[in-house]
Amino acid sequence: MANWAWRDVSIGFALQSDLTTAATTGFEFIPAEVALPEHVRDAEDFTFSTAQVGAYQPPAVGGKHGATFSVRIPLRGFKSGYDPTSEQPGVDADVISREIALLGAVVGSNNSAANSNANLMLGAHLSSSNAYTANDVSSATSSAVTVQAASGANYNVGDFACFDDVSAQTAPQLGFIKSIAADVLTLFEAAANTASANDENFPTVTAYLSNAAPLPLTVRIVGDQTEFGLKYIGCICSGGSITLNANATPILELEFTCTSREWDDSIGGLQTSDAFARLPPIIGNNGGRIAINGSQACGLTDVTLSWTNTLKFFECASGAEGYNAVKVVERAWSLSYAVPHDSSDTITDGEHHYEYGFEQGFAASVSITVGTSVGRIMSILCPSWHISEQPTLEDIDGVLYHRLNLRPGEYSGDGASTNAGNSILRIGFA
């Protein structure tokens, strides 16, 4: 006999054809920390009459719908040994990490394109910009890149873009494409670096917030013995976060609600996850940068992008555990950080400028970027977000800070609304 040590678990997922039909093949495993799942079951406990004082009748037990669990994953980029000159993320299999595929499904993107497990894993639902093109840069400024004649048609408005010298890859020009005029790609904001003539274009993928329906997953959690196996069916992401602190690796946390679950004593055994390059910690030597309204900002701490999906599961007498469909009825995204009070802060009519901005409903763009080496680059763009509640004061290590909570507002400043264009949240990888 053996006992299940919870530290020794592997977790894998695969796409389902619908909410209630469990996947049986195609599982991809990820190196994640798995919290103990919470199992629930509908039950009604009546005060039955009994033949003995103090005795009870068993409760009336219903379905198993509603199990929850969460995972934490240090975000990874593209495959180890990635060759951008011959492999295109979002097009070729096994290039993007499994968590990028998950993240794209969580924000919506073009989920209808992930119509098979293989397409989900390769990132068909993400927006994939131009494949690697040698010497594609004709000229560049910090806010616009002119590519070679007729090459502009290969790019998409809203996509993440990456340009650098193929032999160096130390100071890439990164940014989200705001508009395309012939072969001139104007970026949403000025980049930290500027490409040189004859630099290369490197392929990217972009996850973007959309109204696409969530993708149902089967998740397997297995232990080190054949008998140690749990299957969660119809798993829908109900919330999560990405922590984005300076000097730390970006961490993705996902929370799932499932419509059914099963113990299985035949699927266990620890599994190897495919090798992908982990994103570097967010520091300047790794291209770490936070920009507010296009200007670099320092001092921000406890930076977290988080979300909650309010789910409506639809009852069905013939559905597994009494349900057969789900809809996200509200997508609540927020960006939270604390920023130190500074002598240069402005006061208007007795209001600190963050409070004044909250009162006036001002919007700002926020971008967070890390990485200089292709395959290990990520950038997040919040193009028009506003403070959603009264800023609060915090004492952090003896210094006065303002805690800000932002949420997305409407945005229509891009040159097109297809794919990631005009999306109110984008997460790009290169």
- What strands lie across the sheet with 160-164, from one edge to the other? 137-141, 144-147, 184-187, 173-181, 160-164, 200-202
Global pTM?
0.95
What is the pLDDT averaged over residues 392-409?
Answer: 98
At 48 the pLDDT is: 74
- Cα separation of 29 and 25, whole Å? 12
Listed as own residue / partner, the contacts of 340-347 with beta carbons closer than 8 Å and 24 or more positions apart are 340/299, 340/396, 340/399, 340/400, 340/401, 340/402, 341/399, 341/400, 341/401, 341/402, 342/299
| 146 and 116 inside one domain | no
Task: Look at residue 361 and tell me if it is in a domain.
Answer: no
Task: Look at residue 418 and tell me if it is in a domain.
Answer: yes
What is the pLDDT averaged over residues 215-244?
Answer: 98
Evaluate whether 277 touches 376 at the Cβ level (below 8 Å): yes
| 290 and 264 inside one domain | yes
Task: Look at residue 122 and tell me if it is in a domain.
Answer: yes
Q: Would you tell me how many other CB atoms lie within 10 Å of the CB of residue 417? A: 12
**pLDDT band at 238, cuts 50/70/90?**
very high
| 219 and 330 inside one domain | yes
Q: What percent of the chain has pLDDT over 90?
A: 91
Evaluate whether 358 touches 395 at the Cβ level (below 8 Å): no
| 242 and 172 inside one domain | no
| 265 and 374 inside one domain | yes
| 306 and 224 inside one domain | yes
Mean pLDDT of the chain: 96
Task: Look at residue 348 and tell me if it is in a domain.
Answer: no
Q: Which of 81, 322, 346, 414 is nearest to 424 (CA)?
A: 414
Strands (E), 104-199: 127-128, 137-141, 144-147, 160-164, 173-181, 184-187
Task: Look at residue 396 and tell me if it is in a domain.
Answer: no
The dihedral of CA 96, 99, 100, 105: what is its sign? Answer: positive
- 326-341 pLDDT, tens digit per residue, is 999 999 999 999 999 9
* DSSP H or E stretch at residue 365: strand 363-370
- What is the domain extent for residue 150? 137-202
| 174 and 193 inside one domain | yes
Domain boundary among 169, 202, 235: 202
Domains: count for the chain:
2
Domain boundary among 149, 170, 202: 202
| 380 and 266 inside one domain | yes
| 241 and 116 inside one domain | yes
| 279 and 377 inside one domain | yes
| 266 and 221 inside one domain | yes
- Tracing tokens 């794209």 back to the chain, one arrives at 104
- Tracing tokens 């990217």 back to the chain, one arrives at 204
Instruction: Output the CA–CA distances (angstroms, integers) from residue 133 to 57, 155, 168, 225, 387, in the order listed.
Output: 72, 11, 16, 48, 40
**pLDDT band at 52, cuts 50/70/90?**
confident
Task: Look at residue 318 and tell me if it is in a domain.
Answer: yes
Task: Look at residue 345 and tell me if it is in a domain.
Answer: no
- 149-162 pLDDT, tens digit per residue, is 999 999 999 999 99
